[in-house]
Amino acid sequence: APAEGAAAPPTRPPNYGVYLVTDSTPTILGDRDLVAVVEAALRGGVTCVQYRDKHGEREAVVATARQLHALTRRRGVPLLINDRVEVAVEVGCEGVHIGQDDMSVQEARKLLGDGKIIGVTASTTKEAIKACQDGADYLGIGTVYATATKKDTKSIIGPAGVRAILTAMAAYGHGGVPTVCIGGVNTSNATSVLAQASSPSKSLEGIAVVSAVVAAADPAAAASQLAGAVATAAIPV
Ligand code: TZP
Ligand code: MG
Protein backbone atom coordinates (compact mmCIF):
# COMPACT_ATOMS: atom_id res chain seq x y z
CA ALA A 1 0.00 0.00 0.00
CA PRO A 2 1.25 3.53 -0.67
CA ALA A 3 2.65 5.41 2.30
CA GLU A 4 0.18 7.64 4.06
CA GLY A 5 0.19 11.07 2.53
CA ALA A 6 1.62 9.81 -0.75
CA ALA A 7 -0.17 10.92 -3.90
CA ALA A 8 -2.86 8.32 -4.57
CA PRO A 9 -2.85 6.73 -8.02
CA PRO A 10 -6.13 6.98 -9.94
CA THR A 11 -8.30 4.27 -8.41
CA ARG A 12 -10.94 4.07 -11.12
CA PRO A 13 -10.00 1.57 -13.83
CA PRO A 14 -10.36 3.00 -17.32
CA ASN A 15 -13.74 2.44 -18.96
CA TYR A 16 -13.31 1.48 -22.61
CA GLY A 17 -17.05 1.22 -23.30
CA VAL A 18 -17.45 4.08 -25.76
CA TYR A 19 -13.99 4.86 -27.01
CA LEU A 20 -13.70 7.92 -29.25
CA VAL A 21 -10.79 8.18 -31.69
CA THR A 22 -10.47 11.64 -33.21
CA ASP A 23 -9.74 12.63 -36.79
CA SER A 24 -8.79 16.14 -37.86
CA THR A 25 -8.97 15.62 -41.63
CA PRO A 26 -11.49 17.67 -43.65
CA THR A 27 -13.39 14.59 -44.87
CA ILE A 28 -14.30 13.54 -41.31
CA LEU A 29 -14.12 16.69 -39.18
CA GLY A 30 -15.29 19.04 -41.91
CA ASP A 31 -15.21 22.65 -40.80
CA ARG A 32 -16.09 21.84 -37.19
CA ASP A 33 -13.82 22.50 -34.24
CA LEU A 34 -12.25 19.32 -32.87
CA VAL A 35 -12.27 20.51 -29.26
CA ALA A 36 -15.98 21.38 -29.51
CA VAL A 37 -16.74 17.96 -31.04
CA VAL A 38 -14.89 16.18 -28.22
CA GLU A 39 -16.67 18.30 -25.62
CA ALA A 40 -20.05 17.31 -27.10
CA ALA A 41 -19.00 13.66 -27.31
CA LEU A 42 -18.00 13.69 -23.63
CA ARG A 43 -21.36 15.21 -22.76
CA GLY A 44 -23.00 12.36 -24.70
CA GLY A 45 -21.15 9.69 -22.74
CA VAL A 46 -17.83 8.88 -24.36
CA THR A 47 -15.68 7.05 -21.76
CA CYS A 48 -12.21 7.23 -23.34
CA VAL A 49 -10.66 9.61 -25.88
CA GLN A 50 -7.74 8.98 -28.22
CA TYR A 51 -6.37 12.06 -29.95
CA ARG A 52 -5.27 10.83 -33.37
CA ASP A 53 -3.59 13.39 -35.61
CA LYS A 54 -1.20 11.93 -38.14
CA HIS A 55 -0.35 15.18 -39.92
CA GLY A 56 -0.30 18.05 -37.42
CA GLU A 57 2.87 19.94 -36.47
CA ARG A 58 4.18 18.93 -33.09
CA GLU A 59 3.50 22.30 -31.41
CA ALA A 60 -0.09 22.40 -32.67
CA VAL A 61 -0.69 18.82 -31.61
CA VAL A 62 0.67 19.51 -28.12
CA ALA A 63 -1.56 22.60 -27.82
CA THR A 64 -4.68 20.71 -28.90
CA ALA A 65 -3.80 17.78 -26.64
CA ARG A 66 -3.61 20.16 -23.67
CA GLN A 67 -7.05 21.55 -24.52
CA LEU A 68 -8.51 18.06 -24.85
CA HIS A 69 -6.87 16.98 -21.61
CA ALA A 70 -8.51 19.86 -19.73
CA LEU A 71 -11.90 18.58 -20.96
CA THR A 72 -11.31 14.88 -20.33
CA ARG A 73 -9.86 15.43 -16.84
CA ARG A 74 -12.97 17.28 -15.81
CA ARG A 75 -14.94 14.09 -16.53
CA GLY A 76 -12.39 11.58 -15.26
CA VAL A 77 -11.98 10.21 -18.78
CA PRO A 78 -8.54 9.04 -19.96
CA LEU A 79 -6.89 10.92 -22.84
CA LEU A 80 -4.56 8.82 -24.97
CA ILE A 81 -2.36 10.03 -27.81
CA ASN A 82 -2.03 8.09 -31.06
CA ASP A 83 1.55 7.21 -32.10
CA ARG A 84 3.29 10.25 -30.62
CA VAL A 85 4.55 9.00 -27.28
CA GLU A 86 6.63 12.15 -26.73
CA VAL A 87 3.47 14.26 -26.94
CA ALA A 88 1.81 12.17 -24.23
CA VAL A 89 4.90 12.60 -22.04
CA GLU A 90 4.94 16.35 -22.61
CA VAL A 91 1.22 16.79 -21.95
CA GLY A 92 1.15 14.38 -19.00
CA CYS A 93 -2.03 12.68 -20.21
CA GLU A 94 -3.03 9.13 -19.36
CA GLY A 95 -1.25 7.26 -22.14
CA VAL A 96 -0.84 6.32 -25.78
CA HIS A 97 -2.18 4.10 -28.50
CA ILE A 98 0.39 2.51 -30.79
CA GLY A 99 0.08 0.49 -33.97
CA GLN A 100 2.17 -2.34 -35.32
CA ASP A 101 4.46 0.07 -37.18
CA ASP A 102 5.02 2.42 -34.24
CA MET A 103 7.31 2.36 -31.22
CA SER A 104 7.44 -0.92 -29.28
CA VAL A 105 5.39 -1.33 -26.11
CA GLN A 106 8.61 -1.74 -24.13
CA GLU A 107 10.10 1.48 -25.45
CA ALA A 108 6.84 3.38 -24.86
CA ARG A 109 6.73 2.00 -21.30
CA LYS A 110 10.25 3.27 -20.66
CA LEU A 111 9.30 6.77 -21.80
CA LEU A 112 5.90 6.88 -20.08
CA GLY A 113 6.50 5.04 -16.84
CA ASP A 114 4.40 2.38 -15.14
CA GLY A 115 1.22 4.22 -14.29
CA LYS A 116 0.32 5.10 -17.88
CA ILE A 117 -1.95 3.32 -20.35
CA ILE A 118 -0.48 1.74 -23.47
CA GLY A 119 -2.94 0.43 -26.04
CA VAL A 120 -1.99 -1.54 -29.13
CA THR A 121 -3.78 -2.25 -32.42
CA ALA A 122 -4.01 -5.93 -33.36
CA SER A 123 -5.42 -7.47 -36.54
CA THR A 124 -4.26 -11.02 -35.96
CA THR A 125 -4.04 -13.49 -33.09
CA LYS A 126 -0.25 -13.37 -33.28
CA GLU A 127 -0.20 -9.58 -32.92
CA ALA A 128 -2.69 -9.71 -30.06
CA ILE A 129 -0.80 -12.33 -28.05
CA LYS A 130 2.50 -10.54 -28.57
CA ALA A 131 1.01 -7.21 -27.46
CA CYS A 132 -0.31 -8.87 -24.29
CA GLN A 133 3.07 -10.49 -23.60
CA ASP A 134 4.73 -7.11 -24.12
CA GLY A 135 2.50 -5.60 -21.44
CA ALA A 136 -0.18 -3.73 -23.39
CA ASP A 137 -2.92 -2.38 -21.13
CA TYR A 138 -5.67 -2.88 -23.70
CA LEU A 139 -6.02 -3.87 -27.35
CA GLY A 140 -7.87 -2.24 -30.23
CA ILE A 141 -8.92 -5.09 -32.50
CA GLY A 142 -9.79 -4.61 -36.13
CA THR A 143 -10.42 -3.48 -38.73
CA VAL A 144 -13.95 -4.86 -38.28
CA TYR A 145 -15.53 -3.37 -41.40
CA ALA A 146 -14.08 -1.46 -44.34
CA THR A 147 -14.14 2.24 -43.57
CA ALA A 148 -13.35 5.43 -45.44
CA THR A 149 -11.62 6.72 -42.30
CA LYS A 150 -8.66 4.37 -42.72
CA LYS A 151 -8.19 3.05 -46.21
CA ASP A 152 -6.69 -0.18 -45.11
CA THR A 153 -8.12 -3.12 -46.98
CA LYS A 154 -5.74 -5.87 -45.94
CA SER A 155 -6.76 -6.24 -42.31
CA ILE A 156 -10.55 -6.30 -42.51
CA ILE A 157 -11.45 -9.17 -40.23
CA GLY A 158 -15.18 -8.84 -39.57
CA PRO A 159 -16.86 -9.65 -36.26
CA ALA A 160 -15.82 -13.30 -36.64
CA GLY A 161 -12.16 -12.29 -36.89
CA VAL A 162 -12.47 -10.23 -33.72
CA ARG A 163 -14.13 -13.17 -31.99
CA ALA A 164 -11.31 -15.52 -33.01
CA ILE A 165 -8.72 -13.16 -31.51
CA LEU A 166 -10.69 -12.87 -28.25
CA THR A 167 -10.95 -16.66 -28.03
CA ALA A 168 -7.18 -17.00 -28.53
CA MET A 169 -6.44 -14.30 -25.95
CA ALA A 170 -8.50 -16.19 -23.36
CA ALA A 171 -6.86 -19.51 -24.31
CA TYR A 172 -3.36 -18.01 -23.90
CA GLY A 173 -4.17 -16.57 -20.48
CA HIS A 174 -4.73 -12.98 -21.56
CA GLY A 175 -8.48 -12.91 -20.98
CA GLY A 176 -8.01 -10.10 -18.48
CA VAL A 177 -6.66 -7.61 -21.04
CA PRO A 178 -9.49 -5.25 -22.03
CA THR A 179 -10.38 -5.01 -25.71
CA VAL A 180 -12.34 -2.74 -28.01
CA CYS A 181 -13.06 -3.35 -31.67
CA ILE A 182 -12.61 -0.67 -34.33
CA GLY A 183 -13.49 -0.02 -37.95
CA GLY A 184 -16.86 0.87 -39.41
CA VAL A 185 -18.70 0.61 -36.10
CA ASN A 186 -21.60 3.05 -35.84
CA THR A 187 -24.91 3.68 -34.08
CA SER A 188 -26.73 1.28 -36.46
CA ASN A 189 -24.47 -1.74 -36.07
CA ALA A 190 -22.96 -1.34 -32.57
CA THR A 191 -25.36 -3.73 -30.85
CA SER A 192 -24.90 -6.50 -33.40
CA VAL A 193 -21.13 -6.01 -33.56
CA LEU A 194 -20.84 -6.35 -29.78
CA ALA A 195 -22.91 -9.52 -29.82
CA GLN A 196 -21.25 -11.11 -32.87
CA ALA A 197 -17.67 -10.19 -32.03
CA SER A 198 -17.68 -11.36 -28.42
CA SER A 199 -16.44 -14.88 -27.80
CA PRO A 200 -17.96 -17.27 -25.24
CA SER A 201 -14.62 -17.13 -23.41
CA LYS A 202 -13.98 -13.38 -23.64
CA SER A 203 -16.16 -10.37 -24.28
CA LEU A 204 -15.27 -6.99 -25.72
CA GLU A 205 -15.17 -4.15 -23.20
CA GLY A 206 -16.41 -1.67 -25.75
CA ILE A 207 -16.39 -0.17 -29.22
CA ALA A 208 -14.02 2.38 -30.71
CA VAL A 209 -15.38 4.80 -33.28
CA VAL A 210 -14.18 7.72 -35.35
CA SER A 211 -16.71 8.90 -37.95
CA ALA A 212 -19.77 7.65 -36.05
CA VAL A 213 -19.14 10.50 -33.61
CA VAL A 214 -16.72 12.96 -35.26
CA ALA A 215 -18.69 13.15 -38.54
CA ALA A 216 -22.11 12.97 -36.85
CA ALA A 217 -24.48 15.91 -37.21
CA ASP A 218 -24.96 15.69 -33.44
CA PRO A 219 -21.86 14.13 -31.78
CA ALA A 220 -23.44 14.19 -28.30
CA ALA A 221 -26.50 12.29 -29.50
CA ALA A 222 -24.35 9.79 -31.40
CA ALA A 223 -22.17 9.17 -28.32
CA SER A 224 -25.26 8.74 -26.19
CA GLN A 225 -26.76 6.19 -28.62
CA LEU A 226 -23.49 4.24 -28.64
CA ALA A 227 -23.40 4.29 -24.83
CA GLY A 228 -26.91 2.85 -24.84
CA ALA A 229 -25.85 0.08 -27.20
CA VAL A 230 -22.89 -0.82 -24.99
CA ALA A 231 -25.01 -0.73 -21.82
CA THR A 232 -27.61 -3.10 -23.26
CA ALA A 233 -25.26 -5.28 -25.32
CA ALA A 234 -26.21 -8.91 -25.31
CA ILE A 235 -22.63 -9.97 -24.65
CA PRO A 236 -22.31 -13.73 -24.19
CA VAL A 237 -20.40 -15.19 -21.18
N1 TZP B 1 -7.97 1.68 -36.99
C2 TZP B 1 -8.58 0.66 -37.60
S3 TZP B 1 -9.95 1.17 -38.44
C4 TZP B 1 -9.72 2.79 -37.95
C5 TZP B 1 -8.59 2.87 -37.18
C6 TZP B 1 -8.05 4.10 -36.58
C7 TZP B 1 -10.63 3.88 -38.34
C8 TZP B 1 -12.02 3.65 -37.90
O9 TZP B 1 -12.82 4.74 -38.30
P10 TZP B 1 -14.39 4.65 -38.33
O11 TZP B 1 -14.81 6.00 -38.87
O12 TZP B 1 -14.88 4.44 -36.94
O13 TZP B 1 -14.76 3.53 -39.25
MG1 MG C 1 -0.05 4.27 -35.37
142-201 per-position pLDDT tens digit: 999 999 999 877 799 999 999 999 999 999 999 999 999 999 999 999 999 999 999 999
Lowest mean pLDDT among 1-5, 55-59, 125-129, 183-187: 1-5
Residue 5, pLDDT score: 47
Residue nearest to atom 8 of ligand 1 (CA): 183
Mean pLDDT of 64-87: 97
Please state, for a pLDDT cut of 90, what percent of the chain lies above it: 90
Question: Whole-number mean pLDDT of the chain?
Answer: 94
Contact 219, 37 (CB under 8 A): yes
Q: Does 70 score more than 60 pLDDT?
A: yes
* Cross-strand partners of 208: 19, 182
Residue 8, pLDDT score: 47
Residues contacting residue 226 through CB under 8 Å, at least 6 positions apart: 18, 45, 187, 190, 207, 209, 212, 213
Q: Is 140 left (phi over 0), alpha (psi -120 to 50) or beta?
A: beta
Residue 23 alpha carbon to ligand 1 centre in Å: 9
Mean pLDDT of 96-112: 97
39-59 per-position pLDDT tens digit: 999 999 999 999 999 999 999
Residue 6 alpha carbon to ligand 2 centre in Å: 35
Q: Does 2 score more than 50 pLDDT?
A: no
Q: What is the DSSP string of 107-118?
A: HHHHHH-TTSEE
pTM here is 0.94
Using the atom order of ligand 1, give the atom closest to the CA of residue 185: 12
Contact 20, 213 (CB under 8 A): yes
Mean pLDDT of 116-120: 98
Q: Does 14 score more than 70 pLDDT?
A: yes
Is ligand 1 within 6 A of the CB of residue 98? no
Is ligand 1 within 6 A of the CB of residue 209? yes
